[in-house]
Amino acid sequence: MTESIEAATVLQGCLSKMAVEAGDPARYVLRAGEARIDLNACLGKPFRLEWTGAIACTHCGRATRKSFAQGHCYPCFKRLAQCDTCIMKPELCHFFEGTCREPDWAERHCFQPHVVYLANASGLKVGITRASQMPTRWLDQGAVQALPILEVDTRQQSGFVEVLFKEQVSDRTNWRAMLKGTTERLDLATERDRLMARLESGLDNLRERFGADAIRCLDEAPLSFNYPVLAFPTKVVSHNLDKNPSVAGTLLGIKGQYLILDSGVINLRKFTGYEVKVAA
């Protein structure tokens, strides 16, 4: 992680997704504007976060009364390809219909190799990500295990593969269960082989459609992740800055994009673009 971390104990700025890198445990950095706080160093200490009432679009910077798609103003939400429905459901890609919001952006982000993976954050799930986003994608989910299983040529193809796998396994994480820290370890290699056998016919159909080499099997070893948590909550209570602009307590852990305090948990990614004051 190359970003410098501010030594000061108080900062103010608009929230971005926490930066995270794998380690034992993972290392987290809170980002608010240009300021940085090493969250691992704050464990076991008092922590306060207060929303000033201001929100700035993470794309254009304009003030907005409401955040759309995790930090965008409404005009950017309606205009940007990264906010389109097909980002959440890649199988709905409409690039070849000539209706993509930003064809140049799509060529850079969607027409590159994507990985289909199995992960375990609150139980077995399937997901997709750009190869360049491993392992950040899994750390953002709070996964304790992950295993890349297939590589495809485009984001749309990854969507079709994910839809196929969703016949057998969920694509969602139970965030409350993830935060309780009670997830049992799985044999992901065995789960991969089981699913690949059951879905062989469907994968063959996709290869006929996109080409024999478009969907490639990966022979990767499962990965495991550890998080900086002193104590997991037995009952998950969630803070919401829209309802209460001040959050305070002792910082007990960080997992996924959540801060775990003795007063409750907060998903910082949900409040991307919110201007906050942080004391730690």
Q: Is the pLDDT of residue 150 over 50?
A: yes
Q: In what order do the strands lie in the sheet with 246-255?
A: 10-14, 274-279, 46-55, 246-255, 258-261, 264-267
Kind of pairing between the strands at 10-14 and 46-55? unpaired
Mean pLDDT of 94-102: 96
- Determine the pLDDT at residue 10: 78
For residue 5, tell me if it sits in a domain: no
154 and 213 fall within a common domain: yes
Please report which confidence band the pLDDT of residue 7 belongs to, taking 50, 70 and 90 as the band edges. Answer: very low
For residue 84, tell me if it sits in a domain: no
132 and 212 fall within a common domain: yes
212 and 124 fall within a common domain: yes
Q: Is the pLDDT of residue 183 over 80?
A: yes
202 and 128 fall within a common domain: yes
Give the integer Cα–Cα distance in Å for 141 and 40.
18
The dihedrals phi and psi of 13, each to the nearest 5 degrees, come to 170, 175
173 and 250 fall within a common domain: no
pLDDT digits (tens, 9 = 90+) for 18-60: 999 999 999 999 999 999 999 999 999 999 999 999 999 999 9
Q: Is the pLDDT of residue 3 over 70?
A: no
133 and 171 fall within a common domain: yes
166 and 142 fall within a common domain: yes
Mean pLDDT of 121-147: 97
Mean pLDDT of 146-161: 98
Overall number of domains in the chain:
2
175 and 241 fall within a common domain: no
Q: Is the pLDDT of residue 61 over 70?
A: yes
Dihedral in degrees, nearest 10, Cα atoms 78, 81, 87, 91: 110
- Residue-number span of the structural domain to which 247 is assigned: 10-72+228-279
The two three-digit tokens of residue 169, written as one number: 């396994």
For residue 106, tell me if it sits in a domain: no
Work out the percent of the chain whose per-residue pLDDT is above 90: 95
Q: Which residues contact 138 (CB under 8 A, 6 or more apart)?
A: 117, 119, 121, 146, 223, 225
- Determine the pLDDT at residue 20: 98
Dihedral in degrees, nearest 10, Cα atoms 16, 74, 266, 188: -80
By the 10 Å C-beta count (0-12 exposed, 13-18 middle, 19+ buried), 3 is classed as exposed
**Peptide linkage before 46 cis (omega within 30 of 0):** no
For residue 241, tell me if it sits in a domain: yes
Q: Is the pLDDT of residue 6 over 80?
A: no
Angle at 171 between CA 166 and CA 177, to 5 degrees: 135
pLDDT digits (tens, 9 = 90+) for 195-235: 999 999 999 999 999 999 999 999 999 999 999 999 999 99
217 and 116 fall within a common domain: yes
Domain end marker among 205, 224, 243: 224
Q: Which residue has the tokens 């953002």?
A: 140
For residue 51, tell me if it sits in a domain: yes
122 and 190 fall within a common domain: yes
